[in-house]
Amino acid sequence: MCGIAGCFISGAISKEIVDKTLNSMRNRGPDNQNVISFRLNEKNIYFFHSRLSIIDLQKRSNQPFKFRNYTLIFNGEIYNYKEIRAQLIKLGYRFKTKSDTEVVIKAFSAWGSNSFKKFVGMWSIAIWDDKSKKLFLCRDRFGEKPLYYIFENGELYFASELKTLRILYNKQLKINFKKIRDFLFKGY
């Protein structure tokens, strides 16, 4: 399935890190890759996406996907997207694609973070709201589609694969032996 990654950081990312990040995601989706960035005061937001086209194979469904003040990157599948789409049409929304991607972003436009409660499926989602200047991250209830993240010194890095997160973070990661002990001896 698709791959997503992103960060909310001070400063900019080098072209080398952008290229390495996208290259690390190529196996997740060979059909399209893209990166987009936003500026918020002294911070930069980057969204990376690698697409494996399954629903609506057209370019119109490539990501990052924009609607109004929202930008979305999404990995997974919403099984009940047709039912949610029908609800949104009743609310006056119109659709240009046949993708679950467009349904996700328009559901978020209609219901905000409550839209996640309506989804049945597997997903990891990142949405940037340019109006409220907020970043929303969400994954499915069982973590079937992973969303790894690092939050450190007011900066956030996230990705759907650890190898991509390591490249984007671009710093040495340390093993947390206490958490390994907790997992081995306590089961969590």
Residue that the structure tokens 């340390």 belong to: 174
Tokens of 101: 């991607």
Provide CB contacts within 8 A for 51, sequence distance 6+: 2, 29, 31, 32, 33, 62, 63
Q: How far apart are CA 139 and CA 164, in angstroms?
A: 17
Tokens of 88: 């949104």
**How many whole angstroms from its chain centre is CA 158?**
8
Q: How far apart are CA 9 and CA 44, in angstroms?
A: 5
2 is catalytic: yes
For residue 75, count other CB atoms closer than 10 A to its CB.
29
- CA contacts within 13 A on the Cβ side of 108: 27
For residue 108, count other CB atoms closer than 10 A to its CB.
21
**How many whole angstroms from its chain centre is CA 128?**
10
**Which residue in 2, 45, 105, 167 is the catalytic one?**
2
Catalytic site positions = 2
